Amino acid sequence: MGHKVNPSREHHLLRKRFDRMVTGAPDSPHIVQILALLFTPEEAKLAQKLPAKPMPLSRLSKRVGIPEEALGAQLTAMAQRGLILDFTIRKKRYFMLPPVVIGFFEFVFMRSRDDLPMKELAKLFDAYMYEDDHFAKSVFAENTQIGRTLTHEEALGDADFTEILDWERSTRIIETASAIGVSMCACRHKKLHLDAACDAPMEVCFSLNQAANTLARNGIARLIDKKEGLRLLEQSKEAGLVQTGDNVQQNMSYLCNCCSCCCGMLNAIRTLNLTHAVVAANWVMELDIKGCRGCGKCESACPIDAISMLETTSEDGEKKKTAQCDATLCLGCGVCYSACKFGAIRMIRREKRILPPESTFDRVVTMAIERGKLADLIFDEPENLGYRALGRILSTLERTPPVQALLAIKPLRSAFLNALVSSAKK
């Protein structure tokens, strides 16, 4: 007598695999439906075995028990559909499973396509992201975030540029990238399928360095030169878009130009009150009260409603409206500076400088420690974790507040003991 098979079992297991990543994937019928539309049951089963860090094809072949050539063909097809990432380093192929965001959500919507039910996916993603706050609270938990704000450079006119570091300047990030790719804004493209997109420029999402080559090879991005990159950057600023990028100092992988109505990160701040969803820049808006005409342009331009108009009364009884900025909310993006036509706004240094993690590895480790997922990170691919990587993890732990460090170590200790017991049984 045959037995019944649950066709969605592999998709439920894949959802759990994504949930073990630092940004998580809370349970919901929406995410399971999304995975069922994107992955066949066989692909979902294979994806569960992929690491969250690049692994050579040869090692993956041994891990999953599929011959190298056949596995390479299968993984390449999945990469071309934006489901996984593939890299070529020194003529050697590597594959990894990306998170939900920044990950396969963007890769699905960063280009026009007719091979997927895009409208249905847009509805499901929108419901998963905004119907409640579970997903947003998972992605934007704690202090270290995936994205940070960059200030419009023209707003820093009075600043000493020797004090502005390369990773704080979007033009410098574009000029020094080894490769630049441009794609459709995934968030606006998703909104387009919901008939809710704004009229902001669409093709302004940059991928950088190795990420640009990877996405271009799979048809997700279009490679451009530095001149076109700077032109698109200027176009985005003129449209009042906020520049957000990879929250690292070195080897950034993306730079977005975001609108407040479509962007997932900015919407998490505006609609879900997750005020820390994007790391602020090292500048904050300052108003010249005498120069302010009370026109309200800065209030309208602010992407996260950090500026409001306050009515004041002078000593002679004259009533006047002036802008007021909540410095605790201000991202330091400089969009308000461009909106003010009276020169009443300038950007000044924050009292306390905000330093992003040096690299993607450091960011992921810090996020894992803060979110209690260090054990998941280490045991995701223990055979590829060398002394150097372990040293950087320990170094990050040393700089972590004691309570957080202890919370991170506790599940790690448990996982380590479980691994030893499992090994002994074998």
Provide the pLDDT for residue 316.
73
Residues 35 and 142 in one domain: no
Residues 61 and 150 in one domain: no
Q: Which residues pair with 243 in a beta bridge?
A: 150, 257
Provide the pLDDT for residue 2.
41
Lowest mean pLDDT among 98-102, 161-165, 169-173, 241-245: 161-165
Lowest mean pLDDT among 204-213, 346-355, 381-390: 381-390
Residues 307 and 383 in one domain: no
Domain extent, residue 372, equals: 360-425
Rounded to an integer, the average pLDDT of 301-313 is 92
Residues 322 and 339 in one domain: no
Residues 315 and 368 in one domain: no
Residues 112 and 25 in one domain: no
Confidence of residue 425 (pLDDT cuts 50, 70, 90): very low
Provide the pLDDT for residue 314.
66
Residue 240 scores a pLDDT above 60: yes
Kindly report the CATH number assigned to the domain that includes residue 295: 3.30.70.20
Per-residue pLDDT reduced to its tens digit, 28-39? 999 999 999 999
Provide the pLDDT for residue 420.
39
Residues 274 and 386 in one domain: no
Provide the pLDDT for residue 422.
47
Q: Which two tokens stand for residue 236?
A: 């985005």
Which of 406, 415, 377, 404 minimizes the C-alpha distance to 393?
A: 377
Residue 225 scores a pLDDT above 90: yes
Q: Which two tokens stand for residue 55?
A: 């692994």
Residue 256 has phi, psi (to 5 degrees) of -105, 160
Kindly report the CATH number assigned to the domain that includes residue 62: 1.10.10.10
Per-residue pLDDT reduced to its tens digit, 356-373? 999 998 999 889 888 888
Residue 411 scores a pLDDT above 60: no
Residue 169 has phi, psi (to 5 degrees) of -115, 115
Please report, as a single letter, which amino acid is at residue 302: C
Residues 266 and 397 in one domain: no
Strand order, beta sheet including 147-150: 147-150, 242-246, 254-258, 205-208, 180-183, 222-224
